[in-house]
Structure 1
Amino acid sequence: MEIVTRKKPAEPRVVDLLRKREIGNSVSTTITHRLKVTTNFLKRLGIEKELEGHEGCVNCLEWNESGTTLASASDDYQVILWDPFRYQKKLTLQTGHGGNIFTVKFMPKSNDSVLVTGAGDYKIRVHNIANSDTLLICSCHYGRVKRVATAPAMPFLFWSASEDGLVMQYDLRQSHSCKLSDQSTVLVNLTNHLGRFIEAKCINVNPRRPELIAVGANDAYVRMYDRRMIKLSQRPVSGSSNISSLGYGNGDPDNNVPLGCVQYFVAGHLKNRGQCKKYSTTYLTFSYDGNELLVNMGAEQIYLFDINDHRNSRRFIVPAEIDSDNRDQDEELSSENDNSPLVLEDLSAMNVVQLSPEVEVIHQQANKAFEDEHYADAISMYNEAISLCPTSATLYANRASTYMKRAWEGDTYDALRDCRITLALDPNHVKAHFRLARCLFDLKRVNEAHTVMENFMEKFPDYTKNSACRNLRKDIKDALNSDNDSTSSKPNESGISKYEKEWQKNALDFKVRLCGHCNTVTDIKEANFFGEDSRFIIAGSDDGSFFTWDRYTTNIVRVLKGDSRIVNCLQPHPSMCLLATSGIDQVIRLWSPLPEDGSENVWEVKNANEAAIANYLRMNSEQFELMPFNIAYMFPPGQGDGQEDNEGRPDLSNAPLNCRPS
């Protein structure tokens, strides 16, 4: 196994960059990118202004290319164009939609005069705001239009994703008709491969490679299509209640989407989970350089995928030929014939790499937090230590143990990944080898757990009689015998095409996992890169906050209260440290660095890890498990349950759950 470790890049020193700019003009672009968002700016981020004007929840935000205009769209069926520096309305557009607007986009190279909107009335509208004209009204979709995507260098093309399972392509240079027989506009029909209940939730185009289009749906998989290989097709005939008399997972009738034109991505622990829990990709976006794909997974966490690195393994078994020469006895494992348990929480694994004094301090603090059962704090400290010393087997092994103790959904899989890295750095690490078998068993990968455990017993025969080893070995054998007697554990693949099975089987694993927010109530919740070097990642949350993570350590940098109920939208300014957010409240909030005067920021959530723990409990509580993920308003625009908060806004906090946004 090849392990790629990356040390966290150092924070840029402003003085050094400015000195370099005096020598060469080529540094100017670097300064713009690296100083757009810094840790110092993040620590001072606070509300600059609230923009008031909508009469319903603000479901989408979009900056124009130059950052001089911010577009917002709402449940009031209106789009407002704002001057973000004068805090004034430039234009209020009555869109003509009859449903909540979920998406708004500026068409590239149109002098900001052409806008595309999609809404809950199943329609897409293209508006020429320069002459107050409607260029296109499209009613081709059979479900709510959740997202529209554009490509920077393509002023005439755009794409839409709808809950009917269709991804459609539009060319404004051609006349458009919504009649079935007139033209072919369907890029991908997900129902052909997954059945009539699949829904397309979001879409994004790679800014550097516009032939690549990522699509998220109401399952655990993320799809990336090369549209150059796809033949556009006609819309299927609408069924009585959902889309499809054709889409039952039998495949494309005309082989419009060939096998090699798509790459799937999935968090490894969610693969083949079936319908045990409802997942949905609520937002996805490519990084500025086009090499990474950021995904906000509903009812789960946030994931970063490397679209170019196919070394991420789909399955892993420890090689049986690992050399066992010169192994060091680990004092946590007793080789005597005793019945003592295998104490996984003892953090005394051997050091392969000598830690620097700075890292050793963090390491000891993490160990102390572990002993005090503050597992979230311990993981954050191990993350920081690993970012400074990415070749220490000890740090990965200790973090794996901490993941296993915290035991959030996905933690066992993260522990498995850390055990793999530990063994790659130190093949003789006894505890990592045993924990790997434990993780595989807990993840119900019994055959692999059996291979790893037998390899462990062969490599470390002195531990054959250890009680923990014997017990795990017995549990694995019992599970193997049970699997031989029953096929109930196999995933239900009815209604899935043979291509879909192949795509899912070859799905690539994630690169980074970010935890802390809660994403269960709405299916438009965004996650975005903050800063053009993609160092920071931001996302909204059901607790009314938005979170900022350092993508290199995966630690939460800051949590700010952004809405009285739910933060859905976060759109960074294209060229400066300015952030626009929105949610259930009827306002848009602009965030920028506050003065360094030492005053307290009343919007800051003080203990980020406590907020993360509360969100995990919230996301996994019974009330959220029973709540339908895909929910919509039942109130007319701007109306709630008759109550108002102290700012005159409708109070939906006690309204029925089906009155909250989707």
Structure 2
Amino acid sequence: MSEKAKKGRLNFNGLHHPVVDFWRREVGGISSRNFSNRFSASENLVLRLEIYKKLEKHKGCVNTVSFNAEGDVLISGSDDRRVVLWDWQLGNVKLSFHSGHANNVFQAKFMPFSDDRTIVTCAADGMVRRASILEGDKVETSFLGLHQGRAHKLCIEPGNPHIFYTCGEDGLVQRFDLRTEAPTELFTCQSVDPRRRNMEAIQLNAIAIDPRNSNLFAVGGMDVYARLYDVRRFQGDGSNGFTRAADHFCPPHLIGNEEVGITGLAFSEQSELLVSYNDEFIYLFTPDMGLGSNPIPSSPISKSSVSKSESASSPKDENEHSVPLVYKGHKNSETVKGVNFFGPRSEYVVSGSDCGRIFIWRKKGGELIRVMEADRHVVNCIEPHPHIPVLASSGIESDIKVWTSKAAERATLPENIELRKRTPRGWMYRVSSPQELLAQLFSLQNRSSSSPEREGESSSATGRELLDLILTFNDQSDDATDDEDGNSHEDFFS
């Protein structure tokens, strides 16, 4: 029998069959580790994901979820400015404490090799903080650094208990070493256009480190380029040109487009870079798809020369080798959404959506295989378990959903996915003062009465949006007044 025929008998539709793999493991034809990886990557398990637990403790939107290295503890941060540690399998709170931030917590992560007792956070107040868990579960928090504007994301150097990076809306990227007193300001992200480099910095929303090479990290924000940097180029005296990225990544049809930006980044186990754009799609770049350190083309592509839908699928004037794979179906407009891989070898791509659902695609080929109801409003965060096929998700609702493969039947894709709409309640409706509340109320009323898209809709739809906006403001006002410890936070509106 030929090798091709043998392979065909061991696989169904090109995928490893779990029964065959189990038999091969028993007879020594496959190692336990490879069996575990294939089992965890099984599409059959992905199609059987359903909610295992709802974790309820926060009193505001949950903006970040992350597992510890062992995978037995989940950490979360919220608009209520609290950080919670969960025993997600039992659904119990292990520890809850105030982060010390004066505004919404955007990211919270365990530092590696710290026995889960060192946590770093960043938030809408621009602060970067450290929380140390002491004996008796007493928590001490301390100030580490500051961004001028919201600090959306941080990333930890793999396997390093001391080093992590942050980025913020001020365009600044900082490197923190917990053994030192002050962070290192690496650079402020500027436009790639030489004519605009002296203008305002690029607001950054995302930062990620390559797991196979911790010297490389990528940042993305309010322009079309994902920038790759090599920290080894940084000398500290400003003379080495570190402000220029080593490489840039952008879909060819988006070059020159000033209407979209990057909300999420993630590296795969193969050093591929996943980039999520607002009001656009998700793209997968291999390392050889970069545009180099100077990405300005000799003849820029006009964004009006081709339609978005055509060019995103198959740009016609570009070498096929340079065109990234695209993932479609979700909607990313209302909030700053993350994006991630799922599976032991990054076999799947996962993202939240404005419609309140989780979308899962095969990484290879980009086919959408799963859509799951996860939030009444918007899903922002999806975090995979480090070892087993488990997902944690969060969004505008105040709970966290943990997903495991326990469904009796395999799920199928719903019909008319793109037609599904939810009432937006994301950051576009986040208000900080009574004056801003009134301004948004007037804006919503004017939009509902003048927009032709809303003709024929019942007045109750607009009423629900108005009520949702008022309730959101009331929720924030309550959160600003008292936390669970009864502490006043008057500076919420500052």
TM-score range, shorter chain: 0.7 to 0.9
Partner of 1:304: 284
- Deviation, structure 1 residue 140: 2.8
2:165 corresponds, among 140, 146, 159, to 159
Q: Deviations over 1:11-60 (max 9, x none)?
A: 11223323333354972221222211322112211111111000000001
Mapped partners of 1:314, 1:631: distance in 2: 32
- Deviation, structure 1 residue 72: 0.7
Q: Deviations over 1:385-441 (max 9, x none)?
A: xxxxxxxxxxxxxxxxxxxxxx962423533349966xxxxxxxxxxxxxxxxxxxx
Q: Name the SS for the 2:146 alignment partner.
A: coil
Q: Write the letter of the residue equivalent to 2:276.
A: N
Question: What aligned pairs does 1:88-487 form with structure 2 within 5 A after superposition?
Answer: 88-131=92-135, 132-134=138-140, 136-176=142-182, 185-191=184-190, 194=197, 195-232=199-236, 254-257=239-242, 259=244, 262-273=246-257, 275=258, 277=259, 279-289=260-270, 291-308=271-288, 409-417=308-316
- Deviation, structure 1 residue 134: 3.6
Q: Does 2:469 correspond to 1:655?
A: yes
Q: Name the SS for the 2:468 alignment partner.
A: coil
1:56 corresponds, among 49, 53, 60, to 60
The answer to which structure has the higher helix fraction is: 1
Assess if the C-alpha contact under 8 Å between 1:159 and 1:167 holds in 2. Answer: yes
Q: Deviations over 1:268-321 (max 9, x none)?
A: 100122x3x2x22111110023x201111112100101014569999899xxxx
Q: Name the SS for the 1:154 alignment partner.
A: coil
Q: Does 2:459 correspond to 1:560?
A: no
TM-score by length of 1: 0.58
Partner of 2:329: 516
Q: Write the letter of the residue equivalent to 1:302.
A: I
- Deviation, structure 1 residue 255: 4.5
Q: Write the letter of the residue equivalent to 1:416.
A: P
Mapped partners of 1:606, 1:529: distance in 2: 22
Structure-2 change in CA distance of 1:413 and 1:44 (3 Å): closer
Structure-2 change in CA distance of 1:314 and 1:555 (3 Å): farther
TM-score by length of 2: 0.77
Structure-2 change in CA distance of 1:418 and 1:82 (3 Å): farther
Q: RMSD across aligned C-alpha pairs, in angstroms?
A: 3.5
Mapped partners of 1:188, 1:126: distance in 2: 22
Mapped partners of 2:315, 2:216: distance in 1: 31
Assess if the C-alpha contact under 8 Å between 1:45 and 1:593 holds in 2. Answer: yes
Partner of 1:587: 399
Structure-2 change in CA distance of 1:27 and 1:186 (3 Å): same
Mapped partners of 1:173, 1:311: distance in 2: 36
Q: Does 2:398 correspond to 1:611?
A: no
Q: Does 2:34 correspond to 1:35?
A: no
Q: Does 2:383 correspond to 1:571?
A: yes
Q: Name the SS for the 1:35 alignment partner.
A: helix
Q: Name the SS for the 2:314 alignment partner.
A: helix
Assess if the C-alpha contact under 8 Å between 1:213 and 1:224 holds in 2. Answer: yes
Assess if the C-alpha contact under 8 Å between 2:247 and 2:291 holds in 1. Answer: no
Q: Name the SS for the 2:162 alignment partner.
A: strand
Mapped partners of 1:611, 1:26: distance in 2: 39
Mapped partners of 2:180, 2:268: distance in 1: 31
Q: Write the letter of the residue equivalent to 1:189.
A: T
- Deviation, structure 1 residue 200: 1.2
Assess if the C-alpha contact under 8 Å between 2:206 and 2:265 holds in 1. Answer: yes
- Deviation, structure 1 residue 82: 0.4
Assess if the C-alpha contact under 8 Å between 1:37 and 1:576 holds in 2. Answer: no
Partner of 2:357: 545
Mapped partners of 1:555, 1:286: distance in 2: 19
Q: Write the letter of the residue equivalent to 1:578.
A: V
- Deviation, structure 1 residue 593: 1.5
Q: Deviations over 1:240-268 (max 9, x none)?
A: xxxxxxxxxxxxx6444165x51000011
Q: Write the letter of the residue equivalent to 2:345.
A: D
- Deviation, structure 1 residue 657: 12
Assess if the C-alpha contact under 8 Å between 1:266 and 1:510 holds in 2. Answer: no
Assess if the C-alpha contact under 8 Å between 1:515 and 1:612 holds in 2. Answer: no
2:431 corresponds, among 610, 630, 634, to 634
Mapped partners of 2:358, 2:364: distance in 1: 19
- Deviation, structure 1 residue 654: 3.1
Assess if the C-alpha contact under 8 Å between 2:253 and 2:315 holds in 1. Answer: no
- Deviation, structure 1 residue 614: 5.2
Larger radius of gyration: 1
Could you tell me which runs of 5 or more consecutive residues in structure 1 were left unpaired when the two chains were aligned: 1-7, 177-183, 234-252, 318-406, 422-507, 642-649
Mapped partners of 2:27, 2:298: distance in 1: 50
Q: Name the SS for the 1:145 alignment partner.
A: coil
Q: Name the SS for the 2:220 alignment partner.
A: strand
Mapped partners of 2:84, 2:62: distance in 1: 10
Structure-2 change in CA distance of 1:54 and 1:657 (3 Å): closer
Q: Write the letter of the residue equivalent to 1:209.
A: N
Mapped partners of 1:32, 1:542: distance in 2: 34
Q: Name the SS for the 2:161 alignment partner.
A: strand
Work out the number of aligned pairs and report it.
Answer: 421
Q: Write the letter of the residue equivalent to 1:519.
A: N
Q: Write the letter of the residue equivalent to 1:270.
A: L
Mapped partners of 2:308, 2:471: distance in 1: 25
Mapped partners of 1:562, 1:52: distance in 2: 14
